[in-house]
A = this chain, B = another copy of it.
Amino acid sequence: EVSPQENYFSREMLDRLSGKRTDKTWLESKHSDPDTVYLMFSKLNPMVSMPQEDDGGETKLCRFRYEAVKDLLQKPATVLIFLGVEKRKNPSSSSDAVQEPPAWFAIGSDEDAVELLKRCREKNFCFPKSPHRDLLKLNEEEAGVVAQARSVLSWHSRYSFCPTCGSSTSLEEAGYKRSCLNSECRSLQGVHNTCYPRVDPVVIMLVIHPDGNQCLLGRKKMFPAGMFSCLAGFVEPGESLEEAVRREVEEESGVKVGPVNYVSCQPWPMPSSLMMGCLAVAMSTDISVDESEIEEARWFPRQQVIDSMFKGSHPTFSVPPRQTIAHQLIRHWIGINSNL
């Protein structure tokens, strides 16, 4: 069932049904449907129940029904995103066929977080403070839903004015479009990306030493002590993935890269990146870091990487957690035969 290309944040438990985004009647019937599931977001983070100290449980999304949120839906500052309907596990079963699967929506609210939390009886409900850490504790299915919702909400929070003319915009198509309210605006003639959510392609790459037995990892100043990760950077306009890998590696480490191979990708909803994971073969080995971005970069022998990832006690360094594509790229390399 688990595909080798599946990374955290990439599972889709919902069918987005993009065709329904313009079907106002259908959407309205779903709004008040008692089976509909609402997720609540405050400052881009979802309300969750956190595992209690040392109960080792997982963080879970707090799911609301229409009755519990209908007042919020009336507020003009509320952003409402249609996420999709639950995918049928067993599409041929006859009982499913009668009833439509539940629809999911995300609510972006500007209400005070404390007020929003009062809607829940449970006291371990909260809005995570550090998404980079806390949003990695969901199960795979909920992580996928959060990836979609948080990316779209981030777009609305930063793109509420028309970049072409500076006017206000209105939210359309169930949260997937914003249209300029200035009827003279160029953005209304033809189709323009200014009206649609932004997704930023990023390359993240594990660079392999020409000897096939070492990999290049770097650390930023803000990383936890001892942690090293893959190099990464934004794809620039007019650039291929493979060229972006070569440029970013050379910029950040001074190492020249030859062949590049795509491995898998990861949506990263902070705010809305698409991390394209690659293996890259180095053509040179001298390291000279760009100090504005990277504090240190080093070649790590395969055995040292294996020891750090799998031997518990005293690793010489650490890598990012398994939910990151950086971790998965490193594991992928470890699984490949040595000496390319």
A25-33, A230-238, A301-309, A312-320: which one contacts chain B? Answer: A230-238
Q: Which residues of B contact A235 (CB under 8 A)?
A: 199, 274
Determine if A168 is an interface residue (Cβ-Cβ < 8 Å).
yes
Residue numbers in B under 8 Å from A262 (CB-CB): 262
Asked if B155 and A237 make an inter-chain contact with CB atoms under 8 angstroms apart, the answer reads yes
A179 contacts chain B at the CB level, 8 A cutoff: no
With contacts A10-B243, A240-B5, A240-B265 known, is A167 near B166, CB below 8 A? yes
User: If the complex has contacts A19-B251, A19-B290, A240-B265, are A274 and B193 also in contact, measured as CB distance less than 8 A?
Assistant: no
Assembled-state Cα–Cα distance A10/B247 (Å): 13
Check: A220 CB closer than 8 A to any chain B CB: no
Residues in B whose Cβ lies below 8 Å from that of A247:
16, 18
Name the contact of A238 in the complex, choosing from B144, B166, B276 (C-beta under 8 A).
Answer: B144
Is A187's CB under 8 angstroms from B158's CB?
A: yes
B152–A237 CB distance below 8 A: yes
- Cα A162 to Cα B16 in complex, Å, equals 30
Check A159–B149 contact: CB distance below 8 A. no
Q: How far is the CB of A167 from chain B (nearest CB, A)?
A: 7
Q: Are A201 and B274 in contact (CB under 8 A)?
A: yes
CB closest residue in chain B, given A290:
B19
Which residues of chain B have C-beta atoms less than 8 A from A276's C-beta? 241
Given A10-B243, A236-B199, A194 and B158 touching (CB < 8 A)?
Answer: yes
Expressed in whole angstroms, the Cα–Cα distance for A192 and B165 within the complex equals 20
A269 at the binding interface (Cβ < 8 Å)? yes
For chain A, residues 236 to 270, give those with C-beta under 8 angstroms from any C-beta of chain B.
236-243, 247, 251, 260, 262, 264-267, 269
The answer to whether the Cβ of A147 comes within 8 Å of any Cβ in the partner chain is: yes
- Chain B, residue nearest A237 (CB): B151
Q: Which B residues are CB-close (under 8 A) to A264?
A: 240
A10, A199, A272 pick with most chain B CB within 10 angstroms: A199
Contact B148 A239 (CB under 8 A): yes
B242 contacts A5, CB within 8 Å? yes
A and B contact pairs by CB, cutoff 8 A, 22 listed:
A5-B242, A18-B236, A18-B251, A148-B236, A148-B239, A150-B238, A151-B238, A155-B237, A158-B186, A161-B164, A162-B163, A163-B163, A176-B236, A199-B200, A199-B235, A201-B201, A235-B274, A238-B267, A240-B264, A240-B266, A240-B274, A241-B265
